Amino acid sequence: MTASRVAFGAAGDPAAAPTVGYDAKPMKICIVSDSHDRADPLAHAVRRAAAEGAEAVIHCGDIIGTQTLGAALAAGLPLHVIHGNNLGDPVSLCRWARESDGRLTYHGADARIELGGRRIFVVHYPEYGYAMACTGDWDLVCCGHSHEGRVDEVATIKGGRTWLVNPGTVAGLAAPATWMLGDLATMRFDLRNVAA
């Protein structure tokens, strides 16, 4: 299953994709969500993303048990995680982050990060993600919770556009097991099946 979107500027040029005042740099990222204690599919997605050139992972919540991250961390990519509505053990997440030598960053309920010259907001709930996309303050908003993989370009109140990306559930709970490979230079997002 593949769904792709590319942001184009006024002249149809991917290089003219809308930004929020930052220079985009070549960088691919792995976007996952809703692993729900399923370490194997999470690690599989992260390893595949690393093999395809991803340099970082964004997890949009519902990790639950911290041990779920162990095999994914072994892939060597830095992980940015939030907790979602299934909180799990935030004390354990904080401890793992502190002891990870910078490979794991636990942001809490949401995250404001910059990767590849793009301003990224990460939240679990899609409706909250949509609202943040509408502000025009972000190049990319990542969310989860619905277990439905999708990519939407959202009109902002500032007259621009922001990408809203939901990678679905990497665990495959009541939906196909999916993750997203994102290219931050071109703002292209490809939905991948974990089993493929």
Share of the chain above pLDDT 70, in %: 88
Q: What is the pLDDT of residue 57?
A: 98
pLDDT in tens, 161-180: 999 999 999 999 999 999 99
Q: Tell whether the model's pLDDT for residue 129 goes beyond 50.
A: yes
Per-residue pLDDT tens for 63-99? Answer: 999 999 999 999 999 999 999 999 899 999 999 999 9
Residue 126 has pLDDT above 70, yes or no: yes
Kindly write down the DSSP assignment for every residue of the chain, as one continuous string: ---EEE---TTS-GGG---SS------EEEEE---TT-HHHHHHHHHHHHHTTEEEEEE-S---SGGGGHHHHTT---EEE---SS---HHHHHHHHHTTTTSEEE-SSEEEEEETTEEEEEES-HHHHHHHHHTT--SEEE--SS--EEEEEEE-TTS-EEEEEEE-BTT-SSS-BEEEEEETTTTEEEEEETT-
The domain 23-193 having CATH identifier 3.60.21.10: the answer here is yes
Domain boundaries, given as residue ranges, for the chain? 23-193
7/194: higher pLDDT: 194
pLDDT at 2: 36
Overall average pLDDT of the 175-186 stretch: 98
d(CA 106, CA 114): 15
Higher pLDDT, 47 or 87: 47
What is the pLDDT at residue 25? 79
Q: What is the pLDDT of residues 4-38, one digit of tens each?
A: 333 333 333 333 344 444 466 799 999 999 999 99
The pLDDT assigned to 23 comes to 62
Averaged pLDDT, 119-138: 98
User: How sure is the predictor about 196, in pLDDT bands with cuts at 50, 70 and 90?
Assistant: confident
Percent of the chain with pLDDT over 90: 85
Residue 40 reports pLDDT greater than 80: yes
